[in-house]
Structure 1
Amino acid sequence: MNYYIYATDHAIERYQQRQKAISRQKAIHNIVEGVKRSRLIGFANGEREIREHRGVIFVCELEGTKMNVITILNSKAELRFVEDNKSI
């Protein structure tokens, strides 16, 4: 993966909701490392990639050489809302 990986504020907040008592910096580090180690499991809304690592689902948007992590989902059960909801 040859992208610069950035986590949006929303993705950081979602990650912190799932991991109790974790600092913002640690959340950013964990998100970036998780995306680096993730596998592509699908696409949503054209340019968005759905990636998974150790049960954490990352919704990413490619923009040139940048990969923005838009949000974090709890499990594959939440994926059904990604295709139905165009605002994610």
Structure 2
Amino acid sequence: MGHYIIPTEHAVKRYRERIRMMNEDRAQTAIVESVKHSRMIALTKFGDREIRENRGAVFVCELHGNDMYVITVLISQVDLRFVV
């Protein structure tokens, strides 16, 4: 059984508003690829939600079995810096 990343209509709309304007099919593909390459930065205590980040875009995801639904897309306001 596979694992699937499924962007909601709301997430596609927010991606097109906040990240890059493109047609809906390309936006869905871009969201899936970004989530694949993202890192988990937080888990919510209730609701089985993951907060994931990739290149300044923050994705709020909900897990339902093997499916990960991307609920919304935000732009990170935090400048990430790593101490070496």
**Taking structure 2 as the reference length, what is the TM-score of the superposition?**
0.83
Task: Determine helix, strand or coil for the equivalent of 2:22.
Answer: coil
- The C-alpha deviation readout for 1:15-69, integer Å capped at 9, x for no partner, is 0002343110110000000000000000125200000000000000000000000
What residue identity is the alignment partner of 1:34?
Answer: S
- For 2:77 and 2:61, locate their aligned partners in 1 and report how far apart those are by CA, in whole Å: 15
Tell which has more relative contact order, 1 or 2 (C-alpha 8 A, sep 6+).
Answer: 2
Structure 1 segments of 4+ aligned residues over 3 angstroms from their partners: none
Q: Which structure 2 residue ranges, 5 or more long, are not aligned? A: 79-84
Matched-pair identity in % = 47
Question: Which residue number in structure 1 is paired with residue 29 of structure 2?
Answer: 29
Q: Which structure 1 residue ranges, 5 or more long, are not aligned? A: 78-88
Return 23-32 or 44-53, whichever deviates more.
44-53
**Taking structure 1 as the reference length, what is the TM-score of the superposition?**
0.79
In the alignment of these two chains, the number of paired residues is 76
Higher helix share: 1
- For 1:56 and 1:20, locate their aligned partners in 2 and report how far apart those are by CA, in whole Å: 11
Larger gyration radius, structure 1 or structure 2: 2
Offset of residue 3 of structure 1:
2.2
Over 3 Å counting, the alpha-carbon distance change for 1:75 and 1:4 in structure 2 is same
